[in-house]
Amino acid sequence: MHPDLTTCIIQSGIVPPKNVGEPMPTTTTVQGRIIAIQEMRFRILTGDGRGFLFTLSHNANADADDLRRWHRHDSLVQITYSGEPGLTSGVARTVESM
């Protein structure tokens, strides 16, 4: 942003949102069974043996009680996530029982 425009915006009290111009996060889908839950973090194991660690998004369609129920019933779940699983950026946006 041009320095004079930045100064003008700051002096006027108008602050642009931080995410303006940033791309929307891409999402990926994976299926598996929940093998561990700790608060809003959970781990799944896919049919081919890969493990994924996620943090449940604050606005996800499921909550910790849903995760516990699906874990208890050994349900197959489908997760749509953004970021990198296993890192703090691995965020589960939707979790659905299959």
pLDDT of residue 27: 87
What DSSP letter does each residue of 28-78 carry, written as one string? EEEEEEEEEEETTEEEEE-TTS-EEEEEE-TT-S--HHHHHHHHHTT-EEE
- What does the pLDDT read at residue 25? 63
List pLDDT tens digits, range 53-81: 999 999 999 999 999 999 999 999 999 99
pTM above 0.85, yes or no: no
Q: Which residue's entry shows tokens 């700790």? A: 38
Q: pLDDT tens digit string along 5-38? A: 444 444 545 544 555 555 556 889 999 999 999 9
* CATH number corresponding to 21-97: 2.40.50.140
pLDDT at res. 41:
94
What residues does each domain of the chain span?
21-97
- What is the Cβ-side half-sphere exposure of residue 3, based on CA atoms within 13 angstroms? 0
Residue 10, SS3 per DSSP: helix
